[in-house]
Amino acid sequence: MSAVIVTGTDTEIGKTVFSAALTGALGASYWKPVQAGTDDEGHGDAETVARLSGRPVLPSAYRLKTPCSPHRAAEIDGVEIDRDRLALPQVDGPLVAEGAGGVLVPVTRRLLFADLFAHWGRPVVLVARTGLGTINHSLLSIEALRSRGVPMLGVAFVGDAVEDSEATIAAIGGVKRLGRLPRLADLTAKTLAEAFAANFAVEDFR
């Protein structure tokens, strides 16, 4: 099994849409270890990825009701998160695993996502928005991952093109600039696959 981990600089930046695009491009299975919060229909990120990628989605180890950081959502829901249940699942073919929020989001009060990524030892893609503040958030995230020895494939941007910010993050952070996924007014499996193919080289993720 080859696994790619997708994390982000913050929440609500397009990480799940990017994960769906990558899952489809790699012909991978998708897994979100902890889902905290769902929409009015009870759907979370897994359902979004299934709809936009057409690929198999594995059940989360923990599916929490409260929409907040996993550590707090678990406490509110009366659930104790067991690290042993967060081992990467074994699948045939590639796997895309997506974290929650940013790299230092707590899974429990003793475990951050960055620590979990280090334990997994698989390469990480950092998803970053292109808007104001992204240089600081991105470089802090890169430092947090690198200080834990987490291997990085590079940074994938989401949003409108901001050439200087994207180039600056790659240069100062010493990471590969993988590409940029534009915001899609008509977001479907087809338009997402086309946008990914036009803006990324799938070989960079293998």
Domains in the chain and their CATH numbers? 3-205 (3.40.50.300)
Mean pLDDT of the chain: 95
For residue 114, what are the contacts with CB-CB under 8 A and spacing of at least 6?
7, 103, 104, 144, 145, 148, 150
| Binding-site annotation, residues | 12-17, 45, 98-101, 182-184
Q: For residue 156, which phi and psi values (nearest 5 degrees)?
A: -110, 125
Show the tokens assigned to 59: 């059940």
| Binding-site annotation, residues for Mg(2+) | 16, 45, 98
Question: What local confidence, expressed as pLDDT, does residue 37 receive?
Answer: 82
| Binding-site annotation, residues for ATP | 12-17, 45, 98-101, 182-184
User: Is 176 considered catalytic here?
Assistant: no
String of DSSP letters for 96-149: EEEEEEETT-EEETTEEHHHHHHHHT--EEEEEE-STTHHHHHHHHHHHHHHTT
Catalytic, out of 32, 65, 176, 190 = 32
46 by Cβ neighbours in 10 Å (0-12 / 13-18 / 19+) ranks as: buried
Question: What local confidence, expressed as pLDDT, does residue 44 receive?
Answer: 80
pTM score: 0.95
Lowest-confidence pick of 45-49, 76-80, 109-113: 45-49
Show the tokens assigned to 78: 């009366």
Give per-residue pLDDT as tens, 29-42: 999 999 998 666 65
Question: What local confidence, expressed as pLDDT, does residue 132 receive?
Answer: 93
Q: For residue 127, which phi and psi values (nearest 5 degrees)?
A: -95, 130
Q: Which residue has the higher pLDDT, 169 or 45?
A: 169
Question: What local confidence, expressed as pLDDT, does residue 1 receive?
Answer: 57
